[in-house]
Amino acid sequence: MIPRIDEHKFYKLLCNMVRFSTRRFLISLATLWAIFTVGFFYKQLSINANNPFISKDTWSGLLPRNIKWSSVKYDLNDTEHLHKIFGEVNKLQYIRNQQYTLDLSDSGIVILVQVHDREKELKILVDSLRNVKDIENTLVIFSHDLFLPNINDVIEDIEFCSVMQIFFPHALQIKKNQFPADSMSDCPRDIGPETAKIVGCSNADHPDLYGHYREAKFSQMKHHWTWKINYVFNDIRLLKHFKGLVLRIDNDYYLGPDILRVMRMMNQHKIIHGLDINKMLIMGDYEEFKNEYRHDSDMFTSGYWYTGIGRGMGFNRDLWQKISNCKNIFCTFDDYNWDWSLQKLIDTCFNGLLVLKPIISRIFHVGKCHGFHRENICSMDEVLLNIKNFLNINQQYMYPQEMVYLVKKTPVRKVSDQVGNGGWADPRDHNLCLSFFKNRFSDSNV
């Protein structure tokens, strides 16, 4: 006799079994998903840890990882927020256009551009970079002392080479009413030492050689120049072991298309008379069109460095280290100009610095219509047209197969009892300048 099954109990038992099986199934599924997720992200972290283009520091999320400025919310009047943006960008060291293979060998070249607020000149420079041979294997670093949307847009649109942006962390834009910007307690430039002491302004005891007091807009030029070179050699992780050349230029230059090739050949040339010791390459002349490519495009010569020798400075880590060893002279010389300060350092600490220079300029200046180079009648468009016409006429003589050293008589080093141009007597400027020379690669946080 078959026992009668209580249908109610059977149904209840069956439901319990289904619920138990479903719960176990869901738990198993969740466990598998968790294992997969952890494994995936661990793999990504392992990949990123070995990727020199990705920051090893914790990303705070203030900016998107690819730094598309158009998607960043910022207020140009919010100095605290801009200060954080400067810090995040410098910390991340993000490189755009990572599809290109960088040449960071001993024969590699990094281009370092000092950027301010001239959008038109910057576009002209970028246009020239587009046509430079081997630019796709070259890292171009733009160093800013201002955060400006239109300037950022120009750089963001570059697609032909690898690009990095860095921001001067002591820029006047983010240091409102505090050093190194001008503050309410600072002495006005022309107040005079006697009146300054009566008024009791903060730096009354530190007028310059001419009785004037510091002006932040001028002091920043020397600070920014010093900071950015130290940052490239001492802080950029990708360049920690880089022994090639850094080409320092301004954002109102125009580069000839064969400049990188010429630089490499000059730098690797077997030069007599020990000219390969402490050498610097100067790639442009102030008299830009004095010679023709036809006769001298493959020639270079040497001489002693002096302020005004030319445009575009190419040098390596070894030379910068030797300059760093003389930093006290550079940072305390009463001159707000970096070039005159460098001249003082070279004369007193180096006993002269030999430079190599092509007979024909590979760097041209489109910013003649601004500042100290302004002419009575000047049109930037006309200057640019002259440069392009000159390069177009001589294009068949570019890209020499070798660079020939033009032997001259032993150059005479001009040494003078140099007096500074002033504007740099404040101990705060001295100390800030000296702080830039610290080698942060020795710190545990880098």
* Residue in 68, 59, 110, 108 with CA at minimum distance from that of residue 87: 59
* Residue in 142, 153, 69, 76 with CA at minimum distance from that of residue 119: 153
- 248 neighbors 263 (Cβ within 8 angstroms): no
Other C-beta atoms lying within 10 Å of the C-beta of residue 84: 16
Other C-beta atoms lying within 10 Å of the C-beta of residue 77: 8
Q: In the predicted model, is pLDDT for residue 47 greater than 90?
A: no
- 260 neighbors 135 (Cβ within 8 angstroms): yes
The structural domains of the chain, with segments of one domain joined by +, span: 75-441
- What residue ranges in 97-197 does DSSP mark as E strands? 109-115, 139-144, 162-167
Q: In the predicted model, is pLDDT for residue 440 greater than 80?
A: no
Q: In the predicted model, is pLDDT for residue 348 greater than 80?
A: yes
CATH superfamily ID and name for 75-441: Spore Coat Polysaccharide Biosynthesis Protein SpsA; Chain A (3.90.550.10)
Q: In the predicted model, is pLDDT for residue 57 greater than 60?
A: no
Write the CA distances from 282 to 43, 378, 400, integer angstroms. 46, 26, 18
Q: In the predicted model, is pLDDT for residue 25 greater than 80?
A: no
What is the tens place of the pLDDT at every residue in 75-122?
Answer: 788 889 999 999 999 999 999 999 999 999 999 999 999 999 999 999
**Sheet (strand 95-96) strand order:** 95-96, 162-167, 139-144, 109-115, 245-250, 311-315, 280-284, 354-358, 299-304, 404-405
What is the tens place of the pLDDT at every residue in 189-228?
Answer: 999 999 999 999 999 999 999 999 999 999 999 999 999 9
The most confident of the ranges 27-31, 80-84, 293-297 is 80-84
Q: Which of 30-44, 227-241, 252-266, 424-438 has the lowest mean pLDDT?
A: 30-44
